[in-house]
């Protein structure tokens, strides 16, 4: 099977390598020269010839992600989309490609876990997703370094957040509901960002996604006079600095509370965000290569069959990502 990977940043290069190691014929397209064992093409992803591809993985930055999809969509491709563009793929004009979108950790794995709970519990009372990739220790500056496109991080902080209140979708300012949380023994801040995306349509009374940062980071951003280009430098990722990705997905419904905790600290030179995001993408590509998950249409991660979702979870766990599930019902808990 021939796979075209578009974009070779921190996550894109990781996914490309994993697919190459799995024995696929992999071609990486980027406008920046990348070191890779895959066949490399120094080309614009949107204008390149992808007719020979059996499957395309779109991993370009969000600011250009949708335009790339628009260029690909009329040509009948199978596309796994990880670009997290502000305009979501379900807004694409009519086309013949089949798209599975938002297949990262959050959105992505978070959607899959909520979908599992919805299938088993029915209508949900409350959904809370808290997630962030951060340095292992805070500092006297930003206590942050961007594990993916810093422009996409800024977009998170500035884009109004869609949440669910009393069963209805409402829009609130980004960075709303700032509060302190316990992130597996770390005292951190959480604030609303626009990460629910396709989950908005799932039946629930209350739902929100929160970005997690060290205390002081978002307050500093709210008062900074730095230009976005200056923030890109201030938040530059340092591969030598210890870091971690942490996520908690908590779902309440039908008298039960289900909580998943996901955590990774990176491994073998790969960042935790590249691993937790990229392994979800990799697992979805592998699953689609083995069976026709979808034959037409635009599909969010919660459309995946339950058996595929469990395979995604198993893939992450087999690579050393910690995923712990806890269920509470009428005062008792099991793990």
Q: Do the bridges between strand 322-329 and strand 186-193 make them parallel or antiparallel, or are there none, so unpaired?
A: unpaired
Can you give the pLDDT at residue 332? 45
Q: What is the percentage of the chain residues whose pLDDT exceeds 70?
A: 98
Can you give the pLDDT at residue 16? 98
Can you give the pLDDT at residue 152? 80
Tokens linked to 109: 């794995």
Taking all residues of the chain, what is their mean pLDDT, rounded to a whole number? 94
Q: Among 26, 46, 51, which residue's Cα sits nearest to residue 36?
A: 26
Instruction: For 112-144, write each residue's pLDDT tens digit.
Output: 999 999 999 998 999 999 999 999 999 999 999
The band of 63, judged by pLDDT with boundaries at 50, 70 and 90, is: confident
Instruction: Classify residue 330 as exposed, middle or buried by CB count within 10 Å of its CB (0-12, 13-18, 19+).
Output: exposed
Can you give the pLDDT at residue 334? 45
Measured distance CA(84)–CA(232) in Å, rounded: 18
Can you give the pLDDT at residue 232? 87
Strand partners, 326: 259
| Structural domains of the chain, with CATH | 2-101 (3.40.50.720), 109-273+305-334 (3.30.360.10)
pLDDT of 153 > 60? The answer is yes
Can you give the pLDDT at residue 72? 96
Can you give the pLDDT at residue 330? 52
- Residue 244 near residue 133, CB atoms below 8 Å: yes
* H or E element at residue 154: helix 150-158
Can you give the pLDDT at residue 228? 87
The band of 335, judged by pLDDT with boundaries at 50, 70 and 90, is: very low
Strand partners, 129: 209, 249
Section 243-257 average pLDDT: 96
Enter the pTM of the model: 0.94
Section 278-290 average pLDDT: 98
Measured distance CA(32)–CA(148) in Å, rounded: 15
Instruction: For 186-232, write each residue's pLDDT tens digit.
Output: 999 999 999 999 999 999 999 999 999 999 999 999 999 999 889 98
């Amino acid at each position: 099977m021939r796979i075209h990977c578009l974009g070779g940043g921190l996550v894109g290069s990781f996914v490309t390598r994993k697919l190459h190691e799995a024995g696929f014929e992999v071609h990486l397209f980027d406008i920046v020269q990348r070191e890779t064992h895959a066949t490399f093409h120094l080309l614009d992803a949107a204008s390149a010839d992808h007719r020979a591809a059996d499957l395309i993985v779109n991993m370009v930055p969000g600011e250009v992600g949708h335009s790339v999809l628009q260029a690909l969509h009329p040509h009948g491709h199978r596309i796994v989309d990880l670009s997290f563009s502000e305009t979501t793929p379900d807004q694409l004009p009519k086309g013949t490609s089949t798209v599975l979108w938002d297949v990262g950790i959050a959105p992505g794995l978070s959607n899959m876990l909520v979908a599992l709970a919805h299938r088993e519990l029915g209508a949900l009372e409350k959904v809370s997703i808290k997630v962030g990739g951060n340095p292992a220790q805070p500092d006297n500056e930003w206590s942050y370094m961007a594990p993916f496109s810093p422009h996409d991080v800024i977009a998170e902080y500035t884009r109004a957040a869609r949440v669910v209140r009393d069963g209805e979708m409402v829009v609130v300012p980004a960075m709303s509901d700032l509060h302190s949380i316990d992130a597996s023994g770390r005292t951190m801040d959480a604030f609303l960002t626009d990460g629910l995306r396709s989950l908005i349509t799932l039946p629930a009374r209350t739902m929100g996604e929160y970005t997690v940062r060290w205390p002081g980071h978002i307050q500093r951003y709210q008062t900074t006079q730095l230009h976005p280009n200056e923030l890109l430098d201030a938040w530059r990722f340092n591969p030598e600095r210890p870091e971690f990705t942490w996520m908690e997905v908590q779902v309440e419904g039908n008298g039960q509370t289900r909580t998943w905790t996901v955590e990774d600290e990176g491994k073998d030179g790969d960042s935790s965000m590249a691993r937790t995001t990229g392994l979800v993408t990799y697992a979805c590509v592998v699953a689609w290569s083995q069976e026709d998950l979808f034959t037409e249409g635009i599909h969010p991660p919660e459309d995946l069959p339950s058996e595929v979702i469990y395979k995604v979870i198993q893939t992450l766990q087999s690579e050393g990502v910690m995923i712990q599930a806890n269920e509470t019902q009428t005062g008792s808990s099991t793990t």
